[in-house]
């Protein structure tokens, strides 16, 4: 008897990034495929907008990619 094997390898297409808020300078870590708007924890500015794929940084810049 043949046994079918299905191997699912999750692709590392999403990761965490360290971003810096352009408004207040606060750094925080977030998921780069966010499906909802992310706000700065300090000043409340929306810094990431969901696009359906990779999240778009609005008022922030990437400091470091955490992988």
Kindly state whether residue 40 participates in binding Zn ion, applying the rule CB under 5 A: yes
Nearest alpha carbon to residue 35 among 21, 16, 54 = 54
Kindly state whether residue 48 participates in binding Zn ion, applying the rule CB under 5 A: no
Q: Which is nearer to Zn ion, 14 or 39 (CB)?
A: 39
Decide: 24 and 12 in contact? Cβ < 8 Å: no
Stretch in the footprint of Zn ion (CB under 5 A) among 7-15, 29-37, 39-47, 50-58? 39-47
Kindly state whether residue 60 participates in binding Zn ion, applying the rule CB under 5 A: no
7 is in an annotated binding site: no
What is the C-alpha separation between 36 and 21, in angstroms, rounded?
Answer: 17
């Amino acid at each position: 008897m043949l046994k079918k094997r299905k191997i699912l390898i999750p692709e590392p297409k999403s990761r965490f990034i360290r971003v810096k808020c352009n408004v207040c300078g606060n750094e925080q870590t977030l998921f780069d495929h966010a499906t909802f708007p992310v706000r700065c924890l300090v000043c409340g500015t929306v810094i990431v907008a969901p696009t359906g794929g990779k999240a778009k940084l609005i008022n922030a810049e990437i400091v470091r990619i955490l992988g």
